[in-house]
Amino acid sequence: MSATAARALTGVFSPVLTPFDTQGAISPQRFVKHCRWLVDQGVGLSVFGTNSEANSLSVREKQDLLQALLESGIPGDVLMPGTGLCNLPETVALTSHAVQAGCAGVLMLPPFYYKGVSDEGLFRFFSTVIDRVGDDRLRLYVYHIPPVSQVPLSAKLIERLIARHGRIIAGIKDSSGDWNNTQLMLKHFQGPDFSVFAGSETFLLANMRGGGAGCITATGNVNPGAINRLYRTWNEDARAADAQQAALDKTRAIFQSMPIIPAMKRTLADHSGDAAWATVRPPLVELDEAQAAALSSALRADGFTVPNARTLAVD
C-alpha cells in the first residue's frame, strides 16, 4: 500500500478484525499485534470496517484502539479507518480524530438506517461531514456496499462530490459484488487522485487488469501474504496470475462457507493458540464445534497456514 501528497492510496487493505477478551471487552494488545502482523506482510489497515464488527463498537472504543495503534508505532500512512455512522455528529468526530491522528484516509459508509434516501440527501451528508471536519488533509473513500447497507452510491453522486470537494474524495470501495459496477467506476473515476478498490480479492486480478488500485478484503485478515503477492506480481506472468487468483478464490470460498467473521476469528484462535481470539460480540455468535471442525478440515485440505501465528497470541 502506498500514498503520496499527489496520489490516492493503492494496494491491499484489510478491514481488521477487532479482538475481544473472554468477557467481551476490546483487547488493544491483541489488536496491535494483529495490525503489526498485517503490516509486516504489506497489507494496509482499514480498521473499523464491516469485518471489524465496527457497528458493534462505540466511538470511544474506536478512538482508543486507533490511539493504541499510533502509540505502538504503527504509521498513519497505512491506516484507512472506517468512520461512517448513521449520525452526523459522531461521523464528524471520528473522522476528525482520524485526520488529526495522521491517517492516510478514511473509509466512509453512507448513513444506512433510512432506506430509499436520495442522492441529494447523501450529498448533503458527505458534504456536511467534509465541511465540519474542515481539514484539507482529509482523504475520503466512499464505501459502496448495497447488499448490507441497502443505500447505494451512484456514479452521479460521486461525480457531484468530486466536483464540490476535489481530491478530498479520494476513492471508493466497491463491495457491490457486481463486476459491471466496478467496471463503471474504473471507467469514469480511476486515476492518480481517485482509487477504485474491489471489495474482495475475488475481483483483485480483474480490478488490476482494469487499471484499479487494489482491494479492501475481509480475508486479508487471515491470508494477507498471498493476496498481497498477487497485487504485487499480477502483471509479471498472466498464467501465474490466473493461478494465484484461482487459489485465492478457493481459500475465500472456504471462509465464506461459514459465517465469515466467526470463521476468521476461530482460525486465528486455533493457529495462534489464543482461544480469546474466537470471541465475537452479540448479535454475532462463535462457530460451534462442528462448524469449527469442518472449517479446519477444509483449510488443511487446502494447504492453508497462518505464518507466524503465535505472534498474535496474548499470554
Binding site: what residues are annotated? 216
Quickly count: other Cβ atoms within 10 Å of residue 3's Cβ.
20
Question: How far, in whole angstroms, is CA 311 from its chain's centroid?
Answer: 22
What Å distances lie between residue 94 and 211, 248, 303, CA to CA?
31, 33, 40
Q: Which residues are annotated as a binding site for pyruvate?
A: 216
d(CA 108, CA 95): 9
Q: Where are the alpha helices (DSSP H) in the chain?
A: 28-40, 59-71, 88-100, 119-133, 146-149, 155-165, 179-188, 204-209, 224-233, 238-256, 260-272, 289-301
d(CA 295, CA 56): 25
Residues known to be catalytic: 143, 173
Q: State the DSSP code for 178.
A: -
Which residues make Cβ contacts (< 8 Å) with residue 100, sequence separation at least 6? 135
Grid coordinates given for 152: 447505494
Please choose, from the candidates 66, 22, 69, 83, the residue with its C-alpha nearest in 3D space to the C-alpha of residue 280.
Answer: 22
